Homo-oligomer: A and B are copies of this chain.
Amino acid sequence: MASELRTVLVVGTGLIGTSIALALRQRGLRVLLADHDQGAVRLARELGAGEEWHPETHAREEQHPETHAQAASASGESGETIDLAVLAVPPALIAGELLALQRNGTATFYTDVASVKVEPIERAAQLGCDMSTYVASHPLAGREKSGPGAARAELFLGRPWALCPTPDATPEARAAVLRLVELCGGNPIEVDAAEHDQAVAVVSHAPHVAASAVAARLADASDIALGLAGQGVRDVTRIAGSDPGLWLGILSGNATPVAEVLEAVSHDLAEAATALRALADGDGTATQELTQLLKRGVAGHGRIPGKHGGPAPAYVVVQVVVGDRPGQLARLFQICDEVGVNVEDVRLEHAPGLPLGIAEVSVQPDAAAVLTKALHERGWQVP
């Protein structure tokens, strides 16, 4: 599908819009920038993200039109076609902006990047937008900082980017948005809009609220308590530092799915508290529920994909016979170092009455063969 992008218009030069613009500029595309906030546009331009968009009528700099498109024409300043318009504006503004841009024939194809998909798509259809040229999308990437000053061209590298084409979208429209994702270095994942919103409620939105609720407990904590804070709570609450206004918009746009997940989390925590109070009163049977919650947490955690997608890599266990002499394990680790094998874990198995036994060394799958070979060459037994 020869759907090359040459000129892209980014409407909304916040963190996401400006990062997309920077990524595209790095790939040599022409990028046009627009935003209600002229300061944001200029900052994005100064950062190298592209040129300010001046539709032919030039009226927009004196007026402050409702939408960028009111003064737009079918093409950019030089008469060149705008292949794709990326709407990087809040979810509630997408449908109106899309309609206005389409009425002026601004671009060939359109996408948005909002964190929720069902509502913007429904509103766009209701308003009478041309759904054949619009493929909604959502890059799963971000930073706690917002605004163009925080933008980074590499923000999307290796990150998932959901695409939600409706049945009305043409293959060419889908190809154009896929090309955008490819140019930004993202991993495209096609998904139904409703499934998308449910998914991000579970893997993004509800976790954010949970992090805020945990962090809220620190607001009144003593300095001593904060002095004891370790890496665990830092990780749990990292995302709680994000801009509340931005997140209110995101959560509002996905209200019901998020509410469902929060109710489930709230319920689990209330049950855990009840079980703990029972334990404090000497009722030992409550440990079952607590253990079950912790185990479900382990199971859920284990399903998060590893760095390059797919299930988290299982380590391979290499079993090595280790004699009952001091220094054997130290020598074993030395060999691992020599051949560049990283040891993730080690366990020593021994049966009473038998020689010291087996050292079980956990390594990355592709390191197992390297280690086994090195050990054989040095006379070790690898059963």
Contacts and interface: CB of A to CB of B under 8 A. Distances in A.
Interface residues of A, number: 120
A254 to B, nearest CB: 9
Nearest to A47: B329
A145 B343 CA distance: 13
Contact of A300 (B140, B240, B299, B345): B240
A238 to B, nearest CB: 5
A43 B219 CA distance: 43
A28 interface: no
Contact of A269 (B204, B213, B301, B329): B213
As for how many copies of this chain the complex holds, the number is 2
A207 interface: yes
Interface in A330-380: 330, 345-350, 356
Contacts of A264: 217
B348 A218 contact: no
Nearest to A249: B287
A293 interface: yes
B230 A160 contact: yes
B149 A346 contact: yes
A27 interface: no
A89 to B, nearest CB: 19
B189 A219 contact: no
Given A43-B346, A207-B232, A226 B262 contact: no
A207 B233 contact: yes
Nearest to A236: B207
Interface stretch (A75-83, A92-100, A303-311): A303-311
Interface of A: 38-39, 42-43, 45-48, 140-142, 145, 147, 149-150, 159-160, 162, 189, 191, 195-196, 198-200, 202-204, 206-219, 221-222, 224-230, 232-242, 244-245, 247-248, 251-252, 255-256, 258-270, 272-274, 276-277, 279-280, 287, 290-291, 293-305, 309, 322, 326-330, 345-350, 356
A238 B237 contact: no
Question: What are the 8 A-B residue pairs with the smallest beta carbon separation, nearest first?
Answer: A212-B297, A218-B300, A199-B225, A46-B329, A244-B294, A215-B300, A216-B296, A240-B297
A255 B277 CA distance: 6
A204 B274 CA distance: 19
A44 to B, nearest CB: 9
B235 A236 contact: yes
Contacts of A244: 291, 294-295, 297-298
B280 A255 contact: yes
